[in-house]
């Protein structure tokens, strides 16, 4: 228990630092903004109680909002991601279900499963985030383009990080 708190604490700090120090500074052409910190919500244990998941999502979003100076947007999108996570896990669930007490990781459930899971979660999070940021439907398709491009980049980076974790 203590061990896993320590482990997730470390993952959390590393992901936030990575986001703030590296990915927030990328700003490719105004269309691509990878938000890799969402990986923290992805990696939490499968059987985590939903209230804890939601509170952790809230905290993560709040900290991201602090760093990007945008009150509420990251919080709202991340809480949404935390809320839909159990349903997404059910949708992508492998044939023989999940092992009890396991983490949603690539080397237990395979690349295909992890990719699909990440893609769905990131897509939901980014859709909420970018539409909240624009706060109007006037530029609907342009925002959609931003969502899609950023999702591609975020998913790629998350897969790379997961590969690296596996290598460790």
Partner 1 sequence: MRNLLNFLARYNSLIIFLFLEGIAFYLISTRNNYQNSRLVNSVRGVTSGIEKKINNTKSYLSLRKVNETLAEENVALKNRIAKFTKTESSLFFSVNDSIYKQQYFHTSAEVIKNSVNKQRNFFTINKGESQGIKVDMAVISSNSVAGVIVGCSKNFSVAMSLLNPDFKLSARIKSNGYFGSLSWDGKDYRYAILSEIPQHVIVTVGDTIETTGYSAIFPEGEIIGTVSDYEIYGGDFYKIKILLATDLKKLHFVDVVGNMKKTEETELEKLYK
Contact footprint for partner 1 (CB under 8 A): 20-21, 25, 27-28, 30-33, 50-51, 54-55, 57-58, 61, 65-73, 75-76, 79-80, 82-83, 86, 132-135, 139, 142
Indicate the residue among 116 and 132 with the shorter CB distance to partner 1: 132
Q: How far apart are CA 106 and CA 18, in angstroms?
A: 20
Size (the chain), residues = 168
Per residue in 147-166, is it b (16+ CB within 10 Å) or e — as a string? bebbbebbbebbbebbeeee
Query: Cβ 113 to partner 1, closest distance in Å?
Result: 24
* Half-sphere exposure for 111 (CA within 13 Å, toward CB): 6
Indicate the residue among 51 and 137 with the shorter CB distance to partner 1: 51
Indicate the residue among 58 and 98 with the shorter CB distance to partner 1: 58
Query: Cβ 39 to partner 1, closest distance in Å?
Result: 20
């Amino acid at each position: 228990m203590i061990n896993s708190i320590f482990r997730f604490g470390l993952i959390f700090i590393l992901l936030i630092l990575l986001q703030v120090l590296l990915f927030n500074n990328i700003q490719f052409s105004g269309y691509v903004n990878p938000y890799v910190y969402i990986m923290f919500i992805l990696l939490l244990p499968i059987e985590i109680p939903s209230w804890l998941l939601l509170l952790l999502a809230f905290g993560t979003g709040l900290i991201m909002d602090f760093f990007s100076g945008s009150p509420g947007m990251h919080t709202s999108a991340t809480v949404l991601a935390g809320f839909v996570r159990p349903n997404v896990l059910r949708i992508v669930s492998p044939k023989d279900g999940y092992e009890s007490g396991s983490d949603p990781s690539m080397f237990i459930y395979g690349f295909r499963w992890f990719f699909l899971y990440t893609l769905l979660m990131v897509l939901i999070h980014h859709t909420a985030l970018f539409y909240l940021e624009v706060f109007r439907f006037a530029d609907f398709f342009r925002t959609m383009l931003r969502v899609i491009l950023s999702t591609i980049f975020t998913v790629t980076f998350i897969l790379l990080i997961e590969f690296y974790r596996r290598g460790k």
